Amino acid sequence: MNILETKGLYHDFSKLQVLFDVNLQVKEGERHAVIGPNGAGKTTLFNVITGTYHPSRGQVFFKGKEVTGARPHEMTRLGMGRSFQITSTFGRLTAFQNIRLAILSKKGIRFQFFRKVDSMQAITEETDQVLKRINLDRERNIPASMLSYGKHRALEISLALATDPDLVMLDEPTAGMSKDETHYAVQLIRRLTEGKTLVIIEHDMDVVFSLADRITVLHYGQILATGSPFEIRENQAVKDAYLGALEV
Amino acid sequence: MTNKIMKWVSWSVFLAFLAVYPKLFGIYYTNVFVTFAIFALYAVTLNLLLGYTGLLSFGHAMFFGAGGYGTALVLTHMKGVSLSMALMTGFLSAVGLALILCPIMVRVSGTAFAMLHLAFGQLMYVLSLKLRSITGGEDGIGGFPIPSFTIPGIVFVNMKAPENFYYFAIAVLGASIWMLWFFTKTPFGSIQVGVRDNAMRIDYLGFKVPQTKAVVYIVAGGFAGVAGSISAMFHNLVSADGALHILNSFVPVMMTMIGGIGSFFGPIWGAAIFQVIEELTSRYTQRVELVVGLILILVIMFTPMGFVGILRSIKQKWTTYKIRRKS
């Protein structure tokens, strides 16, 4: 069953066409990578799916329901989590407070005015567990903006995962990371997304081929090919447009 | 354990001090303290928008004024209104105003938010001058009866005595400040701070940003109305220049900046500093704003986190000094 599907998706920014007739299908449980050169429309595709933009044309289906143009908080409540290419955390809040917001959301605690958040033991414990799992327990009380780059990226990714979504959409999770950091991040993603569906935008082909079991190649806003890593590697059109250039 | 005892002891000392304050300092300084407490609450409500949600308002006086006019009007025109009803009317008037404005205000931020408030604040000011039959124009509304505090058969306290009013005002203002402090500590309070830091991510975490801002806006407006209501009863007067003038919108902004924008208690410190400066300078000159303005410039240049920032850095230096001496 397709957990995520787009049908004939178009998007333009005042006459600049960014997406043309994108038909993306993501099956439940698969690890789907979206690759393509800079400016191919990968992040725009994410933005249209997750609700930052309303598509100009076409439809988005999530878990079999039409969600075209739904707002980000609606998508999150339906079970989608999303991380950003440019780190987007709560800079002045500590790592703990950052993750706690996601845990509060997961528990549906929103308009609660009659208890102190610090006295909610279950929330605190769960937040600390998440911090431990992502190796940030020692940085628990450090403001997010003061974290090292690698740790900050880890926090960014875990914010998307801590609401316990069924579908995780990661936008270049390893952007700007060193080789070691990338290696660590890939392990982290693999561990944290166990049993979930993953859609990931990635430039690093090592990461793509080690994480993904299905790949979609986006080129000038259109889907060039979709298939297994092997099929993509052997696809002549993809080689011509994208991969060939990388291997030189 | 000792920490808890210390907390109880310091709170009891503080409350005992408040209780004997009128006896110790006399009527004049009792009234000065009430003025301070009114502005402390008023500045705290502004900081709820500015410091906690990242929204700078140049028209906060309209909520202060709504509270004042609401209370004054109900006391002037209705017979047998109790003290709590008068206070409630002030609170609800400000809440009503916030409810009317919030559909627009929660969808803007930054300069637009500040300027829209400037505009609506000035609109309220002009309305209060022009609608003479309701608001009394420049003279405002004064001389309305101040109801006594009564619990039938048990308590009867005449509020015309300044000392009695002091206890009433301090109780209401103190309780309001405590409620707002608690508000910032709730799960909702932490979401509110998240909106300040990164509204887009709050949306992506599954929270509704406009609704969150609306609640904060209504709470901040309503409690500014409480401050205005107490002020109206305290002076037995509410007027366009006293409550709705643009200076009255800037005062809490300046108090918050001077006291410390990054902390809950900063604005309270700011209100205290303001009151002290006013007391000292008004003996020598009419130009109190000049002195305050100068201090504001110095604060922004040298200690952007305000008075609380100074306190924090002293505390930090003290702890590093102690650690160094130990090693």
A145: contact with B, CB 8 A cutoff: no
- What residues of chain A lie within 8 A of the CB of B197, using their CB? 90-93
Which residues of chain B fall short of a pLDDT of 50?
Answer: none
Is B187 touching A (CB cutoff 8 A)?
A: yes
pLDDT at residue A244, rounded to an integer: 64
Select the residue of B186, B196, B207 nearest A116 (Cβ to Cβ).
B186
- Asked whether the predicted pLDDT for residue A64 surpasses 50, the reply is yes
Least confident of A70-84, A203-217, B116-130: A203-217
The answer to whether A184 and A152 have CB atoms below 8 angstroms apart is no
Mutation target among A71, A104, A126, A164 for the B interface, most CBs of B within 10 A: A104
What integer pLDDT is reported at residue B96 of this predicted model?
Answer: 97
B182 in reach of chain A (CB within 8 A):
yes
Chain A contact for B180 (CB, 8 A cutoff): no
Least CB-CB distance to B201: which of A71, A90, A118? A90
Measured in angstroms, the CA of B51 and the nearest CA of chain A are apart by 12
**Which pLDDT belongs to residue A200?**
93
pLDDT at site A222: 87
Q: For the stretch B173-191, what's the b/e string if a residue is b when 16 or more beta carbons lie within 10 angstroms of its beta carbon? A: beebbeebeebbebbbbbb
Q: Closest Cα of chain A to B146: distance in Å? A: 33
- CB-nearest partner of B186 from A97, A115, A160: A115
CB spacing of B193 vs A90 below 8 angstroms: yes
Residues A91-118: what's their mean pLDDT?
Answer: 92
> How many whole angstroms from its chain centre is CA B183?
15
Pick from B45, B15, B19: which is nearest to B228 by CA? B45
Does the CB of B9 have a partner CB in chain A at under 8 Å? no
- Chain B contact for A110, CB < 8 A? yes
Query: Number of CB pairs < 8 Å for A and B?
Result: 83
Q: What is the pLDDT of residue B1?
A: 61
DSSP structure string for B272-292: HHHHHHHHHHTTT-S-HHHHH
Contact A102 B182 (CB under 8 A): no
User: What distance in Å separates the CA atoms of residue B231 and residue B38, rounded to the nearest whole number?
Assistant: 7
SS3 at position B161: coil
Domains by residue range for chain A, with CATH:
2-247 (3.40.50.300)
Residues 191-230 of A with CB under 8 A from B: none
pLDDT at B254: 92
A155: closest CA of chain B, how far (Å): 13
- Candidates B20, B53, B52, B18; CA nearest to B36 is B18
More confident of the two residues A74 and A38: A74
Q: How confident is the model at residue A16 (pLDDT cuts 50, 70, 90)?
A: confident
pLDDT digits (tens, 9 = 90+) for A96-108: 999 999 999 999 8
Q: What does the alpha-carbon distance between residue B225 and residue B53 come to, in Å, rounded to a whole number?
A: 19
- pLDDT average, residue stretch A74-86: 93
Average pLDDT over residues A111-132: 91
Instruction: Check CB contact under 8 Å for A110 and B193.
Output: no
Query: Measured between alpha carbons, how far is B115 from B57 in angstroms, rounded to an integer?
Result: 8
Q: Is B193 on the interface with A (CB under 8 A)?
A: yes
User: CB under 8 Å to B97, separation ≥6 — which residues?
Assistant: B62, B63, B66, B221, B225
Q: List all residues of chain A from 149 to 168 with a beta carbon under 8 Å from chain B.
A: 159-160, 163
CB contact under 8 A, B185 and A118: yes
Please name the residue that has the structure tokens 């400016």. A39
Instruction: Tell me whether B179 touches chain A (CB under 8 Å).
Output: no
Long-range Cβ pairs for the range B124-130 (8 Å, 24+):
B124/B59, B124/B61, B124/B62, B124/B65, B124/B66, B124/B244, B125/B61, B125/B65, B125/B240, B125/B244, B125/B245, B125/B246, B128/B65, B128/B69, B128/B240, B128/B243, B128/B244, B129/B240
User: What contacts 24+ positions apart, CB below 8 Å, involve B319-325?
Assistant: none
Residues 198-257, chain B, touching A (beta carbon < 8 A): 198, 200-209, 215
Residue B200 with chain A: CB contacts under 8 Å: 72, 88
Domain boundaries in chain B? 26-249
Nearest-CB residue to A77 (from B200, B201, B206): B206
Which of B180, B196, B201 would best serve as a mutation to test chain A binding (most A beta carbons within 10 A)?
B201
Q: Can you tell me the ipTM of this complex? A: 0.91
Task: Report the pLDDT value the prediction gives residue B236, as an integer from 0 to 100.
Answer: 92
pLDDT tops 90 at residue A13:
no
Q: Do B182 and A90 touch (CB under 8 A)?
A: no
pLDDT of residue A245: 60
Contact between chains at A90 and B205 (C-beta distance less than 8 A) = no
Query: Strand B141-142 and strand B237-238: pairing?
Result: antiparallel
